[in-house]
Structure 1
Amino acid sequence: MIRYLPLFILLSLLAEMLGTIGGFGSSVFFVPMASYFLDFQSVLGITALYHLSSNISKIAFFRKGFDKKLALSLGIPAVIFVSVGAYLSKFADPQLLTYILGIFLILMSLIFIIFKQIRITPKTGNAIVGGTLSGMSAGLLGTGGAIRGVTMAAFKLKKDQFIATSAIIDLAIDFSRSLVYINNGYVHKHDLYLVPILIVVSVVGTYLGKRILDHVSQEQFRGFVLILILVIGIATILNTIFNTTEP
């Protein structure tokens, strides 16, 4: 059993709430947070299983329809390349992947904090590129929601449609990478006790996130979410450095 389990559960709940509010999905917060408690490959495995229930919860709570065309044009390449990224993760140094994750979070947050008006043209080709990049990132680093969220924002979906469409794509991504991670040996029997705990966390966190979104606009939280991603990215790199230098 991991140390400080109550703290892990509390932070997982916060990640689920923020992932729902920001529209990125919880992995952008959960992966770096869980890296403090588990080794990186275990984090990849448990995140994929956790996200299956997380996305089912989002589909249930935000079921007012989704954009079928966008789900296919963005989702199909994402599913293909998440399997590629998940397979390649077996050959990469976990410590290197943790550094890449931290740098990725820092760069993504800074780009959208500094260039607030940045937009992606709502074209099918851009959706395919966004799906490819988000899928590869999700497979290798455990999170690709930020890239997918930025791509989807160009299509100006309603809030419920945005989250439902993202969750459907994410569900397919997580199912695909779960199979590869299991084959890679990332899902360990001694970590499986976390799955039922995280299923409850995903339902409660999604519900609380939805209640907040009912009263506060998503744009008001965008800056807060981006700042938090930046902080998590910096903390992830610092944590890796300190763990590496420990005797």
Structure 2
Amino acid sequence: MKNIEYMFLILALLAEVIGTIGGFGSSVFFVPIANFYFDFQSVLGVTAMFHVVSNLSKIALFKKGIDKRLILYIGLPAIGFVVLGGVISKYLNSQFLEIILGVFLIALSLLFIIKKDLVIKPKNKEAVIGGGLSGFVAGVLGTGGAIRGLTMAAFNLEKNVFIATSAIIDFGVDFSRTIVYFFNGYITKEILIYVPFLFVIGILGTYIGKLVLNKVSQENFKKTSLILILIIGVITLIKSALNF
């Protein structure tokens, strides 16, 4: 393998660690990183497969209680709408999707930075809307974990319960969109070679993230994560705009 391919794997590990600690999920970092190495449709395919493994690791390592209510009200709408988003992505221009991704990352990070006390009402209606929106965005852009995280945060879950419940929901979302992406032709031989490496990275990154999370405040780390998301969003937008 070439050095640049090794660098992609190192960055994927870093994305998994930061995503575990920050609470946003690794896709918000992994998708723009992968976009520098693959075309956007392949990015969607490799992200979905990577997250299936990553979320199984989180479920195993953070299995201290699961909120079944949120799996129902957030998880089911997310799974339904990720399928819709995945189907729609096939009919959208990939370069246009890259620009939308950059704008989304910038808007998302600025929203959390400016509105530090932003909260969503802990009610079933808000849970269903947040779940459906996160699933649709994940299907189209490859990353919707931050929207789901904001929705789940309203229910004030214990840290391990939050991560485990989010991982179960995310697993359903990623497994569903992997099937859609496969039939869309997004999962190619070019990215399948990375699957064994990403399998190990998913487990290792989650484990490292859990160790760090036990010693570092999630709130303080989240601030750093937001700045990183903003920077990545700006870089993604500039790169996409220049190639459009």
**TM-score (norm: length of structure 2):** 0.98
- 1:39 aligns with 39
Q: 1:86 to 1:3 in 2, by over 3 A?
A: farther
- 1:207 aligns with 207
Q: Please tell me the root mean square deviation across aligned C-alpha atoms, in Å.
A: 1.0
- 1:57 aligns with 57
CA contact (8 A) 2:23 2:222 kept: no
Aligned-partner Cα distance in 2 for 1:182–1:116 = 38
- 2:242 aligns with 242
1:191 CA drift (Å): 1.7
Aligned-partner Cα distance in 1 for 2:198–2:111 = 31
Alignment of 1:1-247 (within 5 A): 4-244=4-244
Identity %: 57
SS in 2 for 1:4: helix
Aligned-partner Cα distance in 2 for 1:17–1:111 = 23
Aligned-partner Cα distance in 2 for 1:229–1:190 = 27
What are the superposed Cα offsets for residues 170-225 of structure 1, whole Å, 9 maximum, x if unpaired?
00000110110000000002321100000111111001100000111111111111
CA contact (8 A) 1:2 1:38 kept: no
CA contact (8 A) 1:3 1:37 kept: no
CA contact (8 A) 1:112 1:226 kept: yes
Aligned residues: 244
Aligned-partner Cα distance in 1 for 2:190–2:232 = 27
What are the superposed Cα offsets for residues 136-183 of structure 1, whole Å, 9 maximum, x if unpaired?
000000000010011111111011011001000000000110110000
What are the superposed Cα offsets for residues 57-78 of structure 1, whole Å, 9 maximum, x if unpaired?
0001101111110111000000
- Runs of 4+ aligned structure 1 residues displaced above 4 Å come to none
Aligned-partner Cα distance in 2 for 1:142–1:82 = 9
CA contact (8 A) 1:2 1:37 kept: no
Aligned-partner Cα distance in 2 for 1:2–1:98 = 25
CA contact (8 A) 1:21 1:218 kept: yes
Aligned-partner Cα distance in 2 for 1:237–1:138 = 18
**TM-score (norm: length of structure 1):** 0.97
Aligned-partner Cα distance in 2 for 1:216–1:189 = 39
